[in-house]
Structure 1
Amino acid sequence: MKDKNKIIETLTKKLLERQEEAKVIRKIVGLIFISLIIIIGGTAVGGYLYVNSALKPVDPDDTKPVNVEIPIGSGVTSIGKILEEKGIVKNSTVFKYYVKFNNESGFQAGSYDLTPSMTLNEIVNSLKTGKVMRKAEFKITIPEGLQLDQIAEIIADHSPYKKEEVEKKLNDKKWLEQLKKEYPNLVTDEIDNKEIKRPLEGYLYPATYSFYEKKPPLEDILKEMLDQADEVLAQYRDSITEREYTAHQLLTMASLIEEEATEKADRGKISSVFYNRIEEEMPLQTDPTVLYALGEHKPRTNYDDLKVDSPYNTYKVKGLPPGPIANAGLSSIEAALQPEDTNYYYFLASANGSVYYSETLEEHNEKKAKYITNKSE
C-alpha cells in the first residue's frame, strides 16, 4: 500500500511539473507572438511613414528651377532615377509605383524646368503636357569610314573649335590616360603602341551628335563619340571574348572591312577573306592600309605605293595592322565578329562598285583582267 501511495505521489509531482513547464512555454510563445506583432506593425508603420514622406515634395520651400533632360525612349524607371538624381523626387521607386498605380502614361522626352517644391502630381503633369524641347546649338555628323584627321576637320567646321585644337586634344597623353580610367573596356594600353599613328583612330563612332551649349568643353564633344562607341561594343562584349579579340583588335578588323566595302559589297564575305588569310598566315594585302601608311586619301594605290615601309602596310606585314585605319559602322563591326563561312582568299572591286570573290590566285587574276584591266563588266 505504501508503495502504491508513493507511485501516486511521484506521478502527481511530475504532472504538476509538466503543467508548470507548459505555462512557461505558453508565456514564451505569447511573448514571441507579441514581439512579432510589434515588429511587423512597426515595420508597416515605418514603411507607411517612409512612403508617405516620399510622396511629398522634396522641399516645399525650394522653388528654384532645376533643368532636367529626359532622353528619347526613357521609361518610367529611368525617368524616376533621373528625377531622384536631380533632387526632384525623394525616391525613384516610389515615383514609379505612383505612376503605375495612377495609370499615368504619355511622358515625353525633352528639357524641363522642375523644382523640388513640386508634388508628384505636378511633376507627372509637367512631363506629360509641359514638353519644351531645346533646339540644338549645333550638330556634328560623323560618317562611316573616316580617318581621325577628317573627323577633326568636321568637328572644326561645326563647332567653336579649330582643327588644330581638336587634334591636340586627341593626342593629349594626360587626357588619354584619363580616358583609360573612364572607358576601361574600350580605351586600353593598346593605344600606347609606338607603331600606332593616332591613338584614338577608329574610336570616334560614326553618328549624328547634337549639342545644346554654344561652346561645350571640347572633351565633352569627343566623349559623346567615345560614349557611343563604348555603348555599341558593350552589346557585343561576349562575342568579342569568344573571338578572343580585344576591343582594339575588333575596331582594327572592322576598319579594314569598312574601308574595303563598297555600297554593294557584302561585308560578311570580305571579313571571311581576311580571316581565311590570317588562318593561312597570308598577308592581308588590303590597299587602304597602304594609303593609311602613306597618309594619303586617293582612290587607288599604285605599285610603288605598295613598297612603303610601315607596320600598316599589309602587303609586307602579316596579320592585323597596329590599330584601326578609320572609324567603322555597325555593319562592319558585326561582320568582323560574324564573318561568312567561305573558302575565299581574294576579292576585288570593279569600277561600278561590284565586288568579285575568288578561291585561288589564278581565278583572282582572271577576274582582275576582266573587270579591272579592261574596265568592263
Structure 2
Amino acid sequence: MVRLLCHLYDIMLAMVMACFMVLGYCLYVFLFPFYRWPFFFRLLYSLALAGLAALLACGVFITHELKKRAIQKPYSESFVTVKKGMGLNQIVAKLDKQDIIQSPLQFKLVAVLKGAPSKLKAGRYKLNNHLSIEDILDAMVRGSVYRNHLVVPEGYMAWQIASMLKRTMEIDSAAFMALVCDSAFARSCGVPAGSLEGYLFPDTYLFDWDASAEQIIKIMLRRFEEKFREQYTETPITRKYSRHRIVTMASIVEAEAAVDGERELIAGVFYNRLARRIPLGADPTVRFAVKKYTEPLTVRDLAMVSPYNTRIYRGLPPGPICNPGARALYAAMHPLETTMLYFVAKRDGSNEHFFSETNDGHVQNKERAKQNKRLQKNRGVQGPY
C-alpha cells in the first residue's frame, strides 16, 4: 500500500507537470501574439516554461529517490508505547519519531480510510520499519501488544531479578527490592518471613507490557506455590521442618550444587550436619552475608559476625540466600540417606564434589582438589574460586 501511494504521488506530479506544459503551450499559441514580440522576450518566456517543467521533473525525481531510500532502509525494530487517550496525531508522531513509518501523511490517510483512528488500542508494540501501514494498523486495532519474555535462572537472588526487570521492562529496581524486603508485604502475600528472597520462583515468564513490580512479584509467588505443592510429599523432613526452613535449605543446596545428580546427596550432608549440631560451613551463605558473589572469600569474610555465616554459627540461616528451583526444592524435601558429612569441589572442570565421612578424609579431598586446580591452571583453564 505504501509503494502504491508513492507511485500515485509520482503519477500526480507527472500529470500536473503535463498540464502546466499544455497550458503554457496554449498561452503561447492562442492567447498572445508572441510572433509580434521581440525575439528576446520570446526567448525569456520559452526559457521560463522550460524551467518550470524542469522544476516539476526534479520534484518527481526527488520523490522517487526518497521513496527508494525509504524502502531500502536497514531493518530495525523498536518498541512503541501507545497510552490510553492518545489520538491519531500523537500516535503518528511517535511512529515517525522512531522511524517506523515513511510518511505521516500517508499513514493518517490510510488510517482514516480504514476507519481505524477510534479503534487503536493502548499497549506496547514491537514494530519494525519494514512493516506496511496496514500491518501496523491491524496490530494496533487487534491489540497485539508485546509481552515481555523473562527467563529467571535457578539460584538467582532478588537483586539479580530486579536488575533483569529494569533492563528488560524498565521496572524500578529500587521499588521492586523495597517490596521484596517489606516484611508486612511478605505476610500479606502469605510468606511468614522478613523477605521474599527464596519465594520468587525461577522460571520462564510472559509479563504484560504494563505490569507493575507488585504484579510481577505476585505472579512469581503464585508460581512458587504451584511448584512447591508439586514437589511436596509427606516425609520425615517435611514433618520436622517448616516450609520456610525447607526453602532455606533448598536455597543453600541450589547455591552449592552445579550437577543435578548431587542435589539430594548435598542435602543429605547438610541434614546430617544439622542433626549433629555441626555448622553447615556453606560458603554461599557467607557470600550472601558479605555481598561478595564472585571474588575469593578472605579470612575476614569467613569470620564475619552474621547469622548467615554458617562457617561459625550452627543451624540454618534466618532465611533463603537465593531463589531455588524445583529440583532443589525436591532435594530439600527428599534428601539422600547418607553417612557423608563433608564435601569439597573437585575443581577439575566437572562441577562435581568429593564427599567424605570424616574430617581426615575431607582434608585429603581438599588436597586432591588443590592438585586438580593446579592441573587446570597448567592447562590454561580458569576455574571458579
Instruction: Find the counterpart in structure 1 of residue 251 from structure 2.
Output: 255
1:233 pairs with 2:203 = no
One-letter code of the match for 2:288? Y
| Contact map agreement 1:136 1:211 (CA 8 A) in 2 | no
Instruction: Find the counterpart in structure 1 of residue 167 from structure 2.
Output: 157
Gaps of 5+ in 2: 1-141, 377-385
Instruction: Specify the SS of the correspondent of 1:243.
Output: helix
Instruction: Find the counterpart in structure 2 of residue 52 from structure 1.
Output: none
C-alpha change, 1:174 and 1:254, in structure 2 (3 Å) is: closer
**For each residue in 1:42-74, what CA deviation from the matched residue of structure 2 results, as whole angstroms up to 9, or x when unmatched?**
xxxxxxxxxxxxxxxxxxxxxxxxxxxxxxxxx
Instruction: Find the counterpart in structure 2 of residue 166 from structure 1.
Output: 176
Match of 1:350 among 346, 350, 365: 346
C-alpha change, 1:336 and 1:176, in structure 2 (3 Å) is: closer
Mapped to 2, the partners of 1:174 and 1:287 lie a distance apart of 30
Shift of 1:244: 2.2
**For each residue in 1:208-251, what CA deviation from the matched residue of structure 2 results, as whole angstroms up to 9, or x when unmatched?**
11023x21232111111000001111234443774322221111
Instruction: Find the counterpart in structure 2 of residue 205 from structure 1.
Output: 201
Moved more, 347-356 or 367-376: 367-376
Shift of 1:171: 2.9
1:216 pairs with 2:226 = no
Instruction: Specify the SS of the correspondent of 1:231.
Output: helix
Shift of 1:315: 1.1
Shift of 1:273: 0.6
| Contact map agreement 1:145 1:327 (CA 8 A) in 2 | yes
One-letter code of the match for 2:198? G
Shift of 1:373: 5.2
| Contact map agreement 1:283 1:315 (CA 8 A) in 2 | yes
Instruction: Find the counterpart in structure 1 of residue 291 from structure 2.
Output: 295
The 5 Å alignment of 1:300-311 reads 300-311=296-307
Instruction: Find the counterpart in structure 2 of residue 33 from structure 1.
Output: none
Mapped to 2, the partners of 1:169 and 1:313 lie a distance apart of 25
**For each residue in 1:115-167, what CA deviation from the matched residue of structure 2 results, as whole angstroms up to 9, or x when unmatched?**
xxxxxxxxxxxxxxxxx996642112111111111111111112131211211
Aligned residues: 231
C-alpha change, 1:151 and 1:312, in structure 2 (3 Å) is: same
Mapped to 2, the partners of 1:172 and 1:289 lie a distance apart of 21
Mapped to 1, the partners of 2:143 and 2:275 lie a distance apart of 53
Q: Name the TM-score, length of structure 1 as normaliser.
A: 0.57
**For each residue in 1:269-290, what CA deviation from the matched residue of structure 2 results, as whole angstroms up to 9, or x when unmatched?**
1111101111111110010011
Instruction: Specify the SS of the correspondent of 2:354.
Output: strand
| Contact map agreement 1:293 1:313 (CA 8 A) in 2 | yes
1:367 pairs with 2:361 = no
One-letter code of the match for 1:281? R
Mapped to 2, the partners of 1:268 and 1:309 lie a distance apart of 29
Match of 2:185 among 175, 182, 185: 175
Mapped to 2, the partners of 1:205 and 1:232 lie a distance apart of 8
The 5 Å alignment of 1:1-377 reads 136-180=146-190, 187-188=191-192, 191-192=193-194, 199-212=195-208, 214-239=209-234, 242-263=238-259, 266-298=262-294, 300-351=296-347, 352=349, 353-372=351-370, 375=373, 376=375
Shift of 1:264: 6.1
One-letter code of the match for 1:179? C
C-alpha change, 1:338 and 1:134, in structure 2 (3 Å) is: farther
One-letter code of the match for 2:159? D
One-letter code of the match for 2:175? E
**For each residue in 1:5-47, what CA deviation from the matched residue of structure 2 results, as whole angstroms up to 9, or x when unmatched?**
xxxxxxxxxxxxxxxxxxxxxxxxxxxxxxxxxxxxxxxxxxx
Q: Percent identity?
A: 33
